[in-house]
Structure 1
């Protein structure tokens, strides 16, 4: 079986929301590796290391926004990404709470933005990327995009620097539903990630087009989120999908430490599958090389392949110094509102027992095309406002009403199918 076909029952309502663990057969995968010895840098809004599901996993990191603390996360987005990658649960046997795909990987939090209203400058996140490389990170997760704009010289130089130092760089493709992958995901050598739903179908908000590399789950994704009174949230978007790919890269790097970044990417690509989507030829503009399969990525007999990155290499003649990269960039550069991929840019508060979804599909207020329009409130691009009242705290919650992961699926589970890998 590629993946298990049905979720198992659990007394923990938070763990029950993690349908991804079941369809990816993560218990079997963790018997092979749990990401030990690998550091994943999360260039984001910071990571709250106080969440019990991340205790001991988060390194000191660095704040690039101006003298702050990398462990402060006012938005919650960076903490969600970190938990998808390296959450380890809590309680007896870690049986409660959030589990990431690589629970023994370390998280290097690199704060490049404070609030959703702040601009996300290329110079700022570029300095974070270079710092991640210098600190020994082997995977860099960038769950943000620039809304169709081009990456400036600082950003390009930083990514080139990472690639030249054997680092796997993963970025979100974008949440506009556009036929164009956002940069920096679209840059040569970067693993550009789109989102699929539980049925293995492309989420309609996921960007498509040339340069798309892989697909990963990005709908109804649980994450640890200390900005919520319940400490967890559910979200959707390519942001979450990118974090799953970064976690899978960490698993591969842990299992095969001798492989280069290019050879790791080769395993991710060769182990992916189009699953039930017939007639596609890789790279497909909607599904890239297919949907990730973590277990296959660490167990399949795949030739090592060339050391170079199969997705190409970004080269820059004269990269800027780290000191120059830390300067504040002009406000006309990339805005963090383009971090639509921020927790998906579309998120919902998870109340264990009753889940309140707040789904926003609007584009940026200054944008154009379907779903756009002036006057869209700023929070539409990130997490919605906190609920006013009526929600209970985890873990003192009643049995969940409505969606129950333990129920039999109402349609054939595409993750349980066994088609041949397409487009190798």
Structure 2
């Protein structure tokens, strides 16, 4: 069963918090590059010297991807439309193009020094269109069929920047599709949701799926990011610039767990490119083991708000992390899933059964919903409020997935090192250290 999603500019502006709109002239592409604070925070120049995601295909199950955007030319495969006819490279909504740009954008101009660059600029994007217009219904069978298609057409990572609303559940076909991907060694990454609630939405809450929340450029949890048991990682998801061919200047500004999910998918592509012999479970293990709580003191992984920590692509590639077991540390979907899951995140004997959800599958794009503004008309006002425990209402569902049996529980991480010469991200005062400094965490090993 599908349900219609409400998508309005008013709702988006309310979602993003303080955002000043001015009558400034249209921004230049170089200005667009300058606003990508994530690239500096993650020291991506050093990371790209190791790999840029060559040879890895990332499936973007979304609203389509416009491969004609100058920052995505040559990166987007033909893909397939699952909405009943159309072109997978047509993106009326603009969301899928934005997610693709965060994963595999390569920029444009002389030396590709202008425009959007994703974390894995040499990965390929397989666009799988499950939404045409912003008011279309979402159907489980559409995105489930797209997931199966991705597996059968060589995707090694599947990005699901969509989420079930509060109380929704993934129907059998969706569960079977996730199980199919896991059985075929594919990393599945999904958004935790933008309800500000205390449970992770499905499909992110399903066993074995990397569930992703959002943080800002100081490493603080975004106040609309869903939290709860079973959250895997958090990644940048506040004041994120992305490609959008529906805007006159070709770009938009987003907040949401969608963007954070795209960054985790890109990091998974980098790991798969550098370590092609690792299984999907071992790739997830590296992402988990290399994450850090940075300057958040007193947390123990897995934490309900930060999971195993903030994504760190460079450390996922460079830390000395044993490959570990081949199985997925987050559990495994049963291929015979029916109305309730027979497995949960984690495989310990104390694992609890998933909570049952109310009927109906209400899928929404989990943020990264374009705040449709001209980049030059934006005064970046960064949301800096820290999470107030339990903020936001709890939906009737979300599941209660257990934690991985490996890696071992990590100890609280040390404070982040001072800013080591990285450019100060937009909206961040110079006196604040860069919270994404790439020092090794204490792994308790």
Q: TM-score range by the shorter chain?
A: 0.7 to 0.9
Judging changes above 3 Å, is the alpha-carbon distance between structure 1 residues 358 and 27 closer, same or farther for their aligned structure 2 residues?
A: closer
Deviation at 1:301, TM superposition (A): 0.7
Of 335, 338, 350 in structure 1, the residue corresponding to residue 362 of structure 2 is: 335
**Is the 8 Å Cα contact of residues 194 and 256 (structure 2) preserved in structure 1?**
yes
1:244 aligns with 2:250: no
Deviations for 1:318-355, whole angstroms, at most 9, x for unmatched residues? 79xxxxxxxxxxxx84334x32x142x4x423534331
Unmatched tracts of structure 2, length 5 or more: 1-27, 339-358, 383-391, 396-423
State the shift of 1:410 in Å.
Answer: 4.4
The TM-score with structure 2 as length reference comes to 0.77
Task: Say if 1:225 and 1:423 are closer, same or farther in 2 by CA, change over 3 A.
Answer: farther
**Counterparts of 1:66 and 1:259, CA distance in 2:** 37
> Is the 1:349–1:355 Cα contact (8 Å) retained in structure 2?
no
Structure 2 CA distance for partners of 1:201 and 1:318, relative to 1, 3 Å: closer
Alignment partner for residue 59 of structure 2, among 35, 41, 62?
Answer: 41
Offset of residue 114 of structure 1: 1.1
Structure 2 SS opposite 1:145: strand
Q: Distance in 1 between matches of 2:299 and 2:106?
A: 36
Residue segments in structure 1 that go unaligned for 5+ positions in a row = 1-9, 320-331, 360-368, 373-402
Equivalent residue for 2:213, pick from 194, 199, 213: 194
- Whole-angstrom CA distance in 2 between matches of 1:406 and 1:312: 39
Contact 1:280 1:422 in 2 (8 A): no
Q: Counterparts in 2 of 1:302-317, with a 5 A limit?
A: 302-317=321-336
* Residue number among 101, 119, 126 corresponding to 1:83 in the alignment: 101
Q: CA deviation at 1:407?
A: 8.1
Q: CA 1:406/1:414 → structure 2, altered by over 3 Å: closer, same or farther?
A: closer
Q: Secondary structure at the match of 2:292?
A: coil
Question: Cα–Cα, structure 1 residues 173 and 423, in superposed 2: closer, same or farther, change >3 Å?
Answer: farther
User: Secondary structure, in 3 states, of the residue corresponding to 1:284?
Assistant: coil
- CA displacement at 1:416 relative to structure 2: 2.8
Instruction: Give the superposition deviation at 1:255.
Output: 0.2
Q: Alignment partner for residue 79 of structure 2, among 40, 61, 70? A: 61
CA RMSD of aligned residues (A): 2.5
Give deviations 1:150-170, integer Å, cap 9, x for gaps: 100000000000000000000
* Structure-2 separation of matches of 1:219 and 1:152: 31
Deviations 1:350-375 (A, max 9, x none): 5343316899xxxxxxxxx7799xxx
1:271 is matched with 290
Number of residue equivalences = 361
1:131 is aligned to 149
Q: Is the 8 A contact 2:37 2:425 kept in 1?
A: no
Match of 1:230 in 2: 249
C-alpha displacement at 1:291, in angstroms? 0.3
Partner of 2:371: 348
The alpha-carbon distance between structure 1 residues 371 and 310, as it changes in their structure 2 partners (threshold 3 A), is closer
Tell me: CA distance 1:173–1:318, structure 2 relative to 1, closer, same or farther (3 Å): closer
CA offset at residue 405 of structure 1?
A: 3.4
Q: TM-score, with normalisation over the residues of structure 1?
A: 0.81
Check conservation: 1:350, 1:357, Cα contact below 8 A.
no
Deviation per CA, 1:99-135, whole angstroms, max 9, x where unpaired?
A: 0000000000000011221121111100000000000
Q: Call closer, same or farther: CA 1:333–1:112 in 2, change over 3 Å.
A: farther
Q: Which of the residues 154, 170, 182 maps onto 2:173?
A: 154
Q: Equivalent residue of 1:175, what SS?
A: coil
Instruction: Quote the residue 2:240 is aligned against.
Output: 221
